[in-house]
Amino acid sequence: QVQVVESGGGLVQAGGSLRLSCTTSGLRFDDYAMGWFRQAPGREREGVSCISASGMITYYGDAVKGRFTISKDNAKNTLYLQMNSLSPEDTAMYYCAIRSGGACSSFWRLAKYNYWGQGTQVTVSS
């Protein structure tokens, strides 16, 4: 059984940083691309970032480019999202998701992901 668990969310002031983590079990972590999504109240879930199975290729949504960094540690079966220069507009529930393959094509499409975590809340105060 595949499990996906996010952690690291919390309350932070504007301009601050947080690092989200996502641990997985039940599959070969290094066989799959993985992504981060977020969903604010009343809004659709949006793609934040994706990293290829090898970890060599990354993608970012326009709203987070230059501020967020995705990475993975295959030895620890853990995905990370380093978030810097946070603003209130980044407030959302953040979800980790596992792709159906090793690449990140059309990374923003929810249907490309087979497994999802329950999310971790990030709140940025002004």
Q: Please choose, from the candidates 65, 75, 68, the residue with its C-alpha nearest in 3D space to the C-alpha of residue 8.
A: 68
Model pLDDT for residues 93-114, shown as the tens digit of each residue: 999 999 989 999 999 999 999 9
Q: Which two tokens stand for residue 12?
A: 């932070």
* Residues forming beta bridges with residue 39, ordered by sequence position: 93
Could you read off the pLDDT of 5-24 as tens digits, one per residue?
999 999 999 999 999 999 99
Structure tokens at 87: 């603003």
Residue-level pLDDT at 21 = 98
DSSP symbols for 25-90:
ESS-GGGS-EEEEEE-TTS--EEEEEE-TTS--EEE-TTTTTTEEEEEEGGGTEEEEEE-S--GGG
Chain CA centroid to CA 97, Å = 7
pLDDT digits (tens, 9 = 90+) for 35-64: 999 999 999 999 999 999 999 999 999 999
Q: Quote the pLDDT of residue 8.
A: 98
**β-pair partners for 80:** 21, 71
- The percent of residues above 70 in pLDDT, for the chain, comes to 100
The residue to which tokens 């209130």 are assigned: 88
pLDDT at 23: 97
